[in-house]
């Protein structure tokens, strides 16, 4: 197999592995929901954010999720994605405390409403976790 061929297959495959590890079931649901309306977009979602960006070595996954949770809280108009990433944050080893700290800090940069709505989104995700597996503050590899 040539270098480019390996390269090309692995963007999608690399992306699928990263999506599965980071976003877990939340990510799978998003991809499935696109099947009937924009299947190509599901492919782009796997290839670019996950295959290209999340797999880059220069920044660890915990820091990446801190960045994403911060941005989505500040933007204030992407609650579904913020919930997926609060879950993702727990999956890559952030504690609930750390996630809550990131969101609270957004009161400084995007205002109290953005931080409040971010906290309410995180609250929903944590509640589902409690019903589920009870694996709150355990760092995972």
Question: What's the farthest any 2 CA atoms get from each other in the chain?
Answer: 54
Report how far residue 62's alpha carbon sits from residue 45's, in angstroms, rounded to the nearest whole number. 20
2 binds a second copy (CB under 8 A): yes
55 binds a second copy (CB under 8 A): no
Site size with a second copy, rule: CB under 8 A: 65
105 binds a second copy (CB under 8 A): yes
Tokens coding 42: 């599901």
> Are 62 and 94 within 8 A, CB to CB?
yes
b/e sequence 75-99, b meaning 16+ C-beta within 10 Å? ebeebebbbbbbbbbbbbebebebb
According to CB under 8 A, which residues from 111 to 140 bind a second copy? 111-117, 119-120, 122-123, 126
Tokens coding 14: 């690399």
Q: Between residues 24 and 76, which has the closer beta carbon with respect to a second copy?
A: 76
Q: Between residues 25 and 44, which has the closer beta carbon with respect to a second copy?
A: 44
Length of the chain, in residues: 141
Interface with a second copy (CB under 8 A), residue from 18, 19, 22, 69: 69
Q: Between residues 2 and 133, which has the closer beta carbon with respect to a second copy?
A: 2
**What helix, strand, coil percent values describe the chain, rounded to 5?**
80, 0, 20
- Contact residues for a second copy, defined by CB under 8 A: 2, 4-5, 7-9, 30, 33-34, 36-38, 40-41, 44-45, 48-49, 52-53, 56, 58-59, 63-64, 66-78, 80-81, 97-98, 100-117, 119-120, 122-123, 126
């Amino acid at each position: 197999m040539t270098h480019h061929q390996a390269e090309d297959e692995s963007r999608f495959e690399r992306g699928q592995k990263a999506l599965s590890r980071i976003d877990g079931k939340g990510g799978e649901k998003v991809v499935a929901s696109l099947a009937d309306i924009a299947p190509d977009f599901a492919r782009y979602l796997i290839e670019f954010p996950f295959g290209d960006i999340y797999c880059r070595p220069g920044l660890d996954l915990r820091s990446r999720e801190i960045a994403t949770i911060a941005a989505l809280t500040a933007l204030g108009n992407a609650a579904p994605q913020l919930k997926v990433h609060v879950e993702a944050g727990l999956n890559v080893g952030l504690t609930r405390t750390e996630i809550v700290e990131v969101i609270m800090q957004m009161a400084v940069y995007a205002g109290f409403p953005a931080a409040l709505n971010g906290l309410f989104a995180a609250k929903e995700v944590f509640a589902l976790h409690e019903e589920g597996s009870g694996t709150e503050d355990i760092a995972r590899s």
